[in-house]
A and B are shown apart, each in its own frame.
Chain A
Amino acid sequence: MTTATDIQPATPDSPPTRTTTGASAVARAVRPIPTSRLVAVELRKMFDTRAGFWLMASVGIVAVLATAVVIIWAPDEAITQNTFSTAIGMPLSVVLPIIAILSVTGEYSQRTGLTTYTLVPWRGRVLGAKVVATVLVGVASMFLALAVGALGNVVGSAVTGLDAVWDITATQFGNIVLANILGMLMGFMLGVLFRSSAGAIVGYFVYSFVLPVAFGTLAAFQEWFRDLQPWVDVNFAVTRLFDQTMTGEHWQQLGVSTLVWLWVPLAIGLRAVLRAEVK
């Protein structure tokens, strides 16, 4: 057999040009796929199905609905930018991680990974592009929420006849963005760990609703746990980003709890995706 005899005149250090003995019979330079293109493709895949489109649209819809609710029902003195951002932020913090989950699990639940990982056989690059696309969507959503909230604040204070209260600092906004990105990374982590939409979404609800209640109950009844909770309860640590001035100790607690609940499982999940067979 004449296996692996170089029928390619390409030198090892030149970009991989090929002289086709094949279909086109014209020498053609094959350039590597740039990462920016992978990110663009992943963003496109988030929007190009009906389910994906409405999930994305729900970010805007939620923001507008929450703003309307505040204007209609909140007492006059509560019409502040902070009220709007909280009202918009709570539902968004549920939607954004689900977007992150589906960006990963869609490749497995819909089996599109077969094509994706064949066209781009470097799975780490695909996952990297997905993280970047997810974070871009998250940050864009937060700015959209900020804009809608500000508009609501202007309209709301015009309705009440009071001066608009701008009580969100850049630091606070930064913390809120960080909290949401951590939430999306949690979704991403569950996605790579479960590689199934249903499993990951159930996992996400356990993470964000069952665990906090369990930890809260434990802290309420067991005194020894009360001081420990900020270090082990990741939701507790993340939620403080929304409504408190973060102290040095708070940051440390955030670091420790996310290490256990986010970074380590994320590393395990990524390793699994890189190694697992795609079927």
Chain B
Amino acid sequence: MISVESLTKHYGRFTAVDHVSFTAAPGRVTGFLGPNGAGKSTTMRVMVGLTRPTTGRVTIAGRDYRELANPGLEVGVLLDASAQHAGRTGREILAIAQQTMGLPRTRVAETLARVGLTEDEAERRVRNYSLGMRQRLGIATALIGDPDVLVLDEPANGLDPAGIRWMRDLLRGFADDGGTVLLSSHLLHEIEVIADDLVVIGQGRIVAQGTKAELLAAAGTLVRTADVERLARALHEAAVTTTPIDGGLRADADPELVGETAHRAGVALRELRPADGAGLEEMFLELTAETAREGAAA
């Protein structure tokens, strides 16, 4: 279990992380979602003691990361698959982790097999690795200590679709065995297929969190009409919050209520459906639109 408590990190006058609180529960895969530069990596670096928070704290199983006796055996961490010495072989990098944690040597070969790196690939120097192979090696480093908690920053980056499916199955199995998984991504469709819970962050602030099902349900209704303004007014009078989208509205109400309101207001509809049909993508874009760099265009 990872618990982030009111975490804030300033860099000079810039606030990278702003009072972020969430938990990643055992037995669940928690997706940490946000556009680039939203504060995901900073939060994760604070989690594992690489960055000092300005205020707030993170605990893992109730303890500060630095209080863990041998962190590699308790928390598997992958922050940047490319942060490896290019001149070492994959096997050597894993062997250094194995030796640091004090594990038996046989674990190196076992773990290489577990992440699908062949003997031949393991003997190659990392400078000759593709990003996908580096990710597998990074995941191997995280897994070799058989930890209870995984913290993975953008682990699906550079993986091909088969690789993403492999990772989904791996993390699913890990969580089903009672492990805690926190993984970040800026790509929603990656996380949509893996995560049980979602924490969405934009410009250092949490903009939404909950189970994937809850967030889908909360996505409301999508309605399109030629007379957006009149419908928006009618919905507003019915105490329904709306957000303008291209050629229509997203309403925080079920389709039935939206349809009735439109009918009473005499507005002809072009489209009316639950917003979750559009997937989390729309929600993600909406939630982050005002905070993301691309926000101005939306």
Contact = CB atoms under 8 A, between A and B. Distances in A.
B199 to A, nearest CB: 13
Interface string A116-145: 011111100000000000000000000000
B16 to A, nearest CB: 11
Nearest to A17: B69
A16 interface: yes
Interface string B1-39: 101010000000000000001010011000000000000
Contact of B84 (A2, A16, A20, A111): A111
Nearest to B101: A119
B83 A119 contact: no
A23 B97 contact: no
A18 interface: yes
B190 interface: no
B71 A121 contact: yes
B185 interface: no
A123 B150 CA distance: 22
B121 interface: no
Nearest to B77: A118
A170 interface: no
A22 interface: yes
A4 interface: yes
Chain B: number of interface residues, binned into ranges: 35 or more
Contacts, number: 142
A7 interface: yes
A2 B74 CA distance: 20
B210 to A, nearest CB: 13
B62 interface: yes
Given A18-B74, A41-B99, A112 B62 contact: no
- Secondary structure of the A contact surface, majority rule: loop
B194 interface: no
- Secondary structure of the B contact surface, majority rule: loop
A51 interface: yes
A5 B50 contact: no
A77 interface: no
Interface stretch (B109-117, B171-179, B287-295): B171-179
A2 to B, nearest CB: 8
A186 B102 CA distance: 32
A22 B74 CA distance: 10
A202 interface: no
Given A22-B178, A30-B70, A110-B84, A117 B146 contact: no
A33 B73 CA distance: 11
Given A114-B80, A118-B79, A22 B148 contact: yes
A119 B84 contact: no
A114 to B, nearest CB: 4
Given A111-B80, A121-B66, A23 B49 contact: no
A112 to B, nearest CB: 5
Interface stretch (A42-50, A208-216, A249-257): A42-50
Contact of A51 (B87, B102, B148, B177): B87
B92 interface: yes
B62 to A, nearest CB: 5
A25 B178 contact: yes
Interface of B: 1, 3, 5, 21, 23, 26-27, 45, 48-52, 59, 61-62, 65-66, 68-74, 77, 79-80, 82-88, 92-93, 96-97, 99-102, 141, 146-149, 174, 177-180
Interface of A: 1-8, 15-16, 18, 20-25, 28, 30-33, 37-38, 40-41, 44-45, 48-52, 106, 110-115, 117-122, 275, 277-279
6 contacts: A7-B1, A21-B26, A21-B148, A111-B83, A113-B83, A121-B66
Given A1-B21, A21-B27, A22-B147, 9 more contacts: A20-B148, A21-B148, A22-B148, A111-B84, A112-B84, A113-B83, A114-B83, A120-B100, A121-B66
